[in-house]
Amino acid sequence: MKEIKITTSFQAFESTDELPKDVAELMTKAVEARKNAYAPYSHFRVGVAIALDNGKIVIGSNQENAAYPSGLCAERVAVFHAGATYPDAKILKMAISAASDTNPTTSPIPPCGACRQSIAEYEIRQDSPIEIYFMGETGGVFKSDSLKNLLPFTFDKNFL
């Protein structure tokens, strides 16, 4: 048996004030999108803003449903919207902001596993990394240079 070590690295910003201007603007759009979340069950609201290589910004927010798991996370709403509306555009950057109606969220909150897999599909398809910035309601922001930092063993079409 041999041991395999995988290391990842992230950049940590203490606040949105430290972000590059374009990323800070993208995060502001994610925070605004978060306000449109439909979260009557979890009371957990997520907003996403995606910057495409064609200059367009696509947003998404989580949309819940009483018939779990019929709802969709904000990341998948935004990524699928980008793919459906701009199928030839590449996703450059993604900003994610999450907040709870019941508990303060002050640390960065990454995408769930299902969203990581969906983002991976687009990163693999476009053959270029997607920068992912994520935060809670307030506080610091983490930056991943690629989805591969969040999901080092991706399941993709090569396994099918």
Instruction: Please give the domain boundaries of the chain with CATH numbers for all domains.
Output: 11-154 (3.40.140.10)
* pLDDT at position 156: 85
Q: What does the pLDDT look like over 11-30, one tens digit per residue?
A: 999 999 999 999 999 999 99
Q: How far apart are the first and last CA of the chain?
A: 27
Residue-wise pLDDT tens digits, 41-99: 999 999 999 999 999 999 999 999 999 888 999 999 999 999 999 999 999 999 999 99
30 is in an annotated binding site: no
Q: Is 63 annotated as a binding residue?
A: yes
Return the amino acid letter for 76: R
Structure confidence at residue 72 (pLDDT): 96
Which pTM does this prediction carry? 0.95
Whether 18 is catalytic? no
> Is 68 marked as a binding-site residue?
yes
Contact 67, 90 (CB under 8 A): no
Catalytic pick among 25, 75, 121, 137: 75
Q: Give φ, ψ of 91 to 5 degrees.
A: -85, 120
The predicted pLDDT at position 36 comes to: 97
Q: Is 62 annotated as a binding residue?
A: yes
Residue 68's pLDDT is what? Answer: 83
Q: Quote the pLDDT of residue 39.
A: 97
